[in-house]
Structure 1
């Protein structure tokens, strides 16, 4: 648990331009995850939240082992491989220019090019990564806030996930939607809606509970936590969601907990954990999820101070 890092104010209008820019940039290296074996819900495509930014998993493709680290606090991207490394600056410019620089560096290191240039999950993004010539400004202060939001939320969501005994991919950033995701799978197959895009249908092949963090959107401009249960059960109206100010929004199909509300609590970290627990409780009570998939929260090396579960 992070004990000494302040919970900063995160305002959608202030961060939206930079969030849009970084979202496009991380899709360049994010495309490599699509070459990996499929894990339910695309659980293995997430970017890790690191001490300096966002980082891909380790890839082993075309005889090269590599990672790509978007160091938001440093304003650069570090490509590390078994054949060498390259550092690319993150600065004011176009996504297309970055894409060209990235592909040139990848070629020098013997890496394959990213397999796609499609910009996904960004409304209104009609051009590809290699044809997005819009000049965008690099804002160092906004980059720090983006990292801080992801970092604090990831810390809390990792605490929430720890006692779950079922399948749970690591907590990380979905580079398409640019949201932090923590998902619990039940191991029960579902039938995805046929009118959804293929990649969405692939993400809905099992029942799951998802709790995450988002910087908002034009339709929902509040920065904060979100959660939902798939398939969506009846009976979510009028429930308590663990934190005063968290509420069910039926039109969006989401339970939302604004960042401003989290910051105002006595313990923001614990507030997010309580929010996640309340969402799982709702899955148990309204959708028949098994309560025994969640064990006690042992406190690591201090587990001797944690009461054991009763037989």
Structure 2
């Protein structure tokens, strides 16, 4: 890990915004296939994995075809891989509408149906569908690599935070609608979603959860960094320590936030993400009655392979 401590780059939203907007739209194309899968609590079924070269869907088995879609951010292309072959689509230039048409044609050649929906979701001021997005876009390889690097580093920290949790926890991945990296811990405690929230949000809030993640920010709040919140939001979050210098509770947003610039300044950003997540879960225990015994020991796999279960501390 020490070799990676110097690889945490600066993130300037205005420089990344065109590519964030572009990638957010195109990943939704293959992301729609996840909606065909059995629903997992909190939409755990929809996340895209951060891979060595980009973002990937889960493996799908639909209509006699097994396939996966890999958005290779470091290569500027999209690979549809199936049991009958593969197709590669460039992202070098063109509109989202043109990409959608090319994607559907390539998928059909592999026996994969087109996505059941062409709606663009959760992006303010976006056209209603992929077919309506005619804006010409150009791929920025440097920005794409910077985005991947940030996602990869944040995912590494969030996976380490999640490892000892003994309850239900969907895999760490990118929620393709809001385009944030999410790590969520759940417990079977039914809650009442906001009545006027969109259906996807209401379905996400059927039970209590603690969410820690990473976001690039947006036009209204152009600051990348870690975020966290507890659902339902408890009282007593003001004035708490959140494990890392620079992390703070922002009641207007309903979020605990750790700016990326503050994270980069810590001696070990990877461990800082773990400490941030631990502090958020501790707040859930102390203010919302979450059980402390749902978190086991945080040890590496080699330790566990050598240690009899009765000697492991809980």
**TM-score, scaled relative to structure 1:** 0.97
Superposition map of 1:18-97 within 5 A: 18-97=19-98
> How far off is 1:209 after superposition?
0.1
SS in 1 for 2:138: coil
Question: Aligned Cα RMSD in Å?
Answer: 1.5
Q: 131-140 vs 176-185, which deviates more?
A: 131-140
Aligned partners of 1:100 and 1:41: how far apart in 2?
Answer: 31
2:279 corresponding residue in structure 1: 278
> How far off is 1:2 after superposition?
7.8
Q: What stretches of structure 2 of length at least 5 have no aligned partner?
A: none
Does the alignment pair 1:100 with 2:101?
yes
Kindly indicate whether the alpha-carbon contact (under 8 Å) linking 1:56 and 1:68 is maintained by their aligned counterparts in 2.
Answer: yes
> How far off is 1:68 after superposition?
0.2
Kindly indicate whether the alpha-carbon contact (under 8 Å) linking 1:2 and 1:155 is maintained by their aligned counterparts in 2.
Answer: no
Does the alignment pair 1:11 with 2:15?
no
Aligned residue-pair number? 311
Aligned partners of 1:52 and 1:104: how far apart in 2?
Answer: 24
Aligned partners of 1:271 and 1:305: how far apart in 2?
Answer: 27
1:254 corresponding residue in structure 2: 255
Does the alignment pair 1:213 with 2:217?
no
For 1:57-107, what per-residue CA distance to the aligned partner results, in whole angstroms no more than 9, with x for missing partners? Answer: 000111110000000001111110011110010112100000000000011
SS in 1 for 2:8: coil
Aligned partners of 1:39 and 1:298: how far apart in 2?
Answer: 28
> How far off is 1:196 after superposition?
0.5
Kindly indicate whether the alpha-carbon contact (under 8 Å) linking 1:38 and 1:44 is maintained by their aligned counterparts in 2.
Answer: yes
Does the alignment pair 1:134 with 2:135?
yes
Aligned partners of 2:262 and 2:98: how far apart in 1?
Answer: 39
Q: What stretches of structure 1 of length at least 5 have no aligned partner?
A: none
Does the alignment pair 1:143 with 2:144?
yes
Aligned partners of 2:2 and 2:135: how far apart in 1?
Answer: 37
SS in 1 for 2:125: coil
